Amino acid sequence: MANRSTHAQVKRKGGDHLTIQQQETDSPVLPVAQLEQLQAFKPDAVDWIINQTRIEAEHRRKMDNRINLFTFIEHMLGQLFAFLIGIAGVIGGVYASVNGQPTAGGAIAAAALTGLAVVFLTGRSN
């Protein structure tokens, strides 16, 4: 959980002062001190804040599940298409070899399988 806080005070000779406070956090829950200050200022707002925090947490969990599902689907489709490309390369190579071009057939099959092996061994570029 990342948390940054900035606090500044300016005091003048007449006794006046100005305080500025900023807090930045990636947590959906406000710190207890701020909830206590809000309770003293506007009591019904605390319940609203807690309710909104709960709604946001549910939304975050739903989005996490959705992202995980789409990532899984992306990986499975990548594996399927890699398999299909490999099979197509081998079938193309066999077809060329059977039709009188054994060198070309071997080159086509080898290029398809070597290309897939390089991608799988080096990983994705993104």
The answer to whether residues 90 and 113 touch, using CB atoms and an 8 Å cutoff, is yes
User: CA neighbours within 13 Å on the CB side: how many for 4?
Assistant: 2
C-alpha 29/C-alpha 24 separation (Å) is 11
- What the block records as the tokens of 90 is 């081998």
C-alpha 1/C-alpha 60 separation (Å) is 15
pLDDT digits (tens, 9 = 90+) for 101-126: 999 999 999 999 898 888 878 876 55
User: CA neighbours within 13 Å on the CB side: how many for 64?
Assistant: 6
Mean pLDDT of 9-38: 77
- What the block records as the tokens of 29 is 């829950």
* pLDDT at position 28: 65
pLDDT digits (tens, 9 = 90+) for 27-58: 667 777 878 888 888 888 888 888 888 898 89
